[in-house]
C-alpha cells in the first residue's frame, strides 16, 4: 500500500504499510528527496508503517530554502499525522541531525533513533570545517553550470547502484537539490548534536558506512555519550549507505526496529 498526499493530508510525504504496524519515519539527507528511501519503503512496508517526508528546500517542498526549525516541526507533523504520535525515527546525513534534534525535543514520541552519516559533532574544529564547506558549496552552486553538473553526477551515481530500475528512476525523477547542501551548513555549524543525542533516553543506533571517514571518527564518542546506543558499520560503502548497500542497511533498520519494539513491549 502506498498512500497519496491527499490521503495523509501532508504535502510531499510517502506513506506505506499497515496502519496498525509499528511506524518508522525516514528523514532524507540534503540534495536528495524522500525518494532516497524507496528501497527501504519497499522492503519494510509489509512489516512496518513507513513514512518519509520531503524536507524544506527539497522535492515537493522546493518552493523555499532549507531551514532547520521548520524541518524539525515538519518531522513532528509527520509523526503526528502518519504514526499517531510515536515512531522509530531514521535519519541520514542532514536528516540524521534533524532526527537527533527532534528526539531531544520530543523523546516521548521517539520509540527508537537511527542516525547515519550524522555522528560528527559540528562544534570546535568541526564547526569551522562545516562553515567552510557550506560556504564553498553555496558559492559554487550559485552557478547554474555547477548545479547542473552536480545533478548529472548524482543521477549517474544512483544509476550505478544495485537498485531495481524502477526504484532508481523514482529517485532520479524526484530531482536533486545541490544548493540545499550549502544552505544547511549554517544551521548545523556550532550546534552541539552530541549533547542532543545524549539527551534522548531511548534506544539508539549509529549506523555508518565503513568509508564515511569523517563521520566514523566521531561515532564511538557519539554512542558513548548516549544512554542506550550502539554502533554498526556497513562494509565497503560511504556516506549514502542506504543506497550503496540497500539490503544491508534495510536489514540493520529492521533488526533494530524489532528489538526496539520488543524492548518497549
Contact 120, 218 (CB under 8 A): yes
216-225 per-position pLDDT tens digit: 999 999 999 9
DSSP class of residue 36 equals G
**Can you name the residues that pair with 51 across neighbouring β-strands?**
15, 25
What number does CATH give the domain 2-120+192-264? 3.40.50.1820
Domain boundaries, the chain: 2-120+192-264
188-232 per-position pLDDT tens digit: 999 999 999 999 999 999 999 999 999 999 999 999 999 999 999
To which residue does cell 545524549 refer? 198
Helix (H), strand (E) at residue 29: none
In the structure, how many helices (H) and strands (E) does the chain have? 13, 8
Output the pTM of the full model: 0.95
DSSP class of residue 161 equals S
Contact 12, 61 (CB under 8 A): yes
Collect all residues with Cβ–Cβ distance below 8 Å to 61 and sequence separation of at least 6. 11, 12, 54, 55, 74
Q: What integer pLDDT is reported at residue 263 of this predicted model? A: 74
Q: pLDDT band at 6, cuts 50/70/90?
A: very low
How distant is the alpha carbon of residue 169 from its chain centre? 20
5 has a pLDDT exceeding 60: no
Amino acid at each position: 500500500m502506498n498512500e497519496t498526499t491527499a490521503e495523509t493530508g501532508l504535502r510531499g510525504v510517502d506513506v506505506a504499510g499497515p496502519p496498525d504496524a509499528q511506524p518508522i519515519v525516514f528523514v532524507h539527507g540534503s540534495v536528495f528527496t524522500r525518494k532516497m528511501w524507496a528501497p527501504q519503503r519497499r522492503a519494510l512496508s509489509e512489516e512496518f508503517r513507513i513514512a518519509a517526508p520531503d524536507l524544506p528546500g527539497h522535492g515537493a517542498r522546493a518552493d523555499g530554502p532549507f531551514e532547520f526549525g521548520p524541518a524539525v516541526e515538519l518531522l513532528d507533523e509527520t509523526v503526528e499525522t502518519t504514526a499517531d504520535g510515536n515512531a522509530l525515527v531514521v535519519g541520514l546525513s542532514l536528516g540524521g541531525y534533524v532526527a537527533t534534534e527532534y528526539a531531544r525535543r520530543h523523546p516521548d514520541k521517539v520509540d527508537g533513533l537511527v542516525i547515519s552519516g550524522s555522528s560528527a559533532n559540528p562544534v570546535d574544529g568541526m564547526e569551522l570545517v562545516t562553515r567552510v564547506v557550506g560556504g564553498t558549496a553555496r558559492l559554487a552552486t550559485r552557478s547554474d553550470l555547477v548545479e547542473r553538473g552536480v545533478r548529472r553526477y548524482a543521477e549517474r551515481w544512483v544509476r550505478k547502484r544495485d537498485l531495481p530500475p524502477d526504484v532508481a528512476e523514482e529517485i532520479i525523477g524526484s530531482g536533486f537539490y545541490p544548493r540545499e547542501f550549502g544552505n544547511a551548513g549554517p544551521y548545523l555549524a556550532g550546534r552541539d548534536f552530541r549533547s542532543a543525542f545524549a539527551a534522548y533516553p531511548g534506544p539508539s543506533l549509529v549506523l555508518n558506512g565503513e568509508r564515511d571517514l569523517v563521520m566514523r571518527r566521531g561515532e564511538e564518542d557519539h554512542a558513548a555519550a548516549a544512554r542506550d546506543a550502539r554502533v554498526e558499520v556497513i562494509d565497503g560503502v560511504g556516506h549514502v549507505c542506504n543506497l550503496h548497500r540497500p539490503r544491508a542497511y534495510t536489514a540493520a533498520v529492521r533488526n533494530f526496529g524489532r528489538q526496539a519494539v520488543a524492548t518497549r513491549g
